[in-house]
Structure 1
Amino acid sequence: MRLLLVEDDRMIGESLRSALRGEGHAVDWVRDLAAGRASLASERFDLVLLDLGLPSGGPTAAASAGDGLELLAELRSRRDPTPVIVLTARDAPGDRVRGLDTGADDYLVKPFELDELTARIRAVMRRHGGRSEPVLEYRGVSFDPATRRVLRNGEPVLLSSRELAVLEALMMRPGAVLSRAQLEDRLYGWGEEIESNAVSVYIHQLRRKLGADFIGNMRGVGYFLQPPPAAGSDR
């Protein structure tokens, strides 16, 4: 998934970005409200991790403090449904209530364990996608986001982190056609060099490991999971 991390603390930001990339996510990190606004206005993210005590940004950033709830309220006022998890040291019940009532999908108090954060990310994405089951399954292939384990007809399949990212994107939206650019967004954060044929290479590897007819291609548009063969088909 592509995540936006809005966090002003350099140590926390660097640690989270590194850890979440290690979990297979593309993570873009900004450190103030102005950069968060600009990012959400120009890019699409699967989920936002939002600190609350943030600099406002811009030319007066050094003297101006802001509140991440402002950004959250703006996001919801324009009916942007992007899931948001608040990450903050504010632990009073009233703070939690304000965060959730402003539109946060979850609220996590610092300090926290990475395992808890990643579990909450998965839970929020399940709710956002209208799913209750934790494991993604399609045509004999199952993918467990918690363990990053893939099975095909009950047998384990070894995939690289970027092959997993492409597979997860497709399995979260079975039947939808995802463009090359949409899949690249799942693979690369800002500042990472995008290889021109990377998506084609990962699709080729997934077809080799999961079956040649598992992923379809709509020429000039993008990739999708092939529907199950019709009853009585020889395929």
Structure 2
Amino acid sequence: MSQVHAMSDDQVAGELKKMTAFIRQEALEKADEIRVKADEEFAIEKSKLVLQETSSIDSSYEKKFKQASMSQQITRSTVANKTRLRVLSARQELLDRLFEDANKKLKDVSKDKGKYQGVLKNLILEGSYALNEDRLQVKARKADYDVVKKAIEEAQKEYGSKVDKEVTIKIDESNPLPEGSSGGVIVVATGGKIDINNTFEERLRLLETDALPSIRVTLFGDNINRRFHD
């Protein structure tokens, strides 16, 4: 099953890798712009504080100096927090756009019928192994029925040879996937109470959840919390 899962994830992850280079560069440029703006704001705030405190220095100089130092620390912390939030917001916008673009690209996978049939076979096999029942149904887009039928035939043969047990798989034509779906299948046990959602949209959602930490490292590299508090 791990080989099947890897093939499905690679199909989606391939599109993500194509966008990584320019998305990462854009993220770095945006972060640099925000940091420059933050330095300017801090310099202005610091100048104001120095002018205010210098004009009012008197016999209590030591006390006022400590107050000024504390004010600068507060100002630095405030500016750093504001900058951190701006960078986080910019990064999240880039990540959202990345997965939106990937979702649009998913529909292109079904255009190559030969490759698409192989992907469907593996998705059906994965569901069959997980459910481990003699009779299963597959939900798919009506437009995919022909290629799904061929994928089912291949999946049934491979399933029988691997587990030495036959499985009967049929298309649930009474409940097809929406035509607006990007593709893939849902494998359903006979009773209809248990299913394995192997649609492209669901696989991308799982990838977004599971791979998001490594994607952040790939795109942005550093630890933002440490960066703005050191």
Q: Give TM-score, length-normalised by structure 1.
A: 0.23
Q: Which has the higher strand share?
A: 1
> Which of structures 1 and 2 has the larger relative contact order (alpha carbons within 8 angstroms, sep 6+)?
2
Bigger proportion of residues as helix = 2
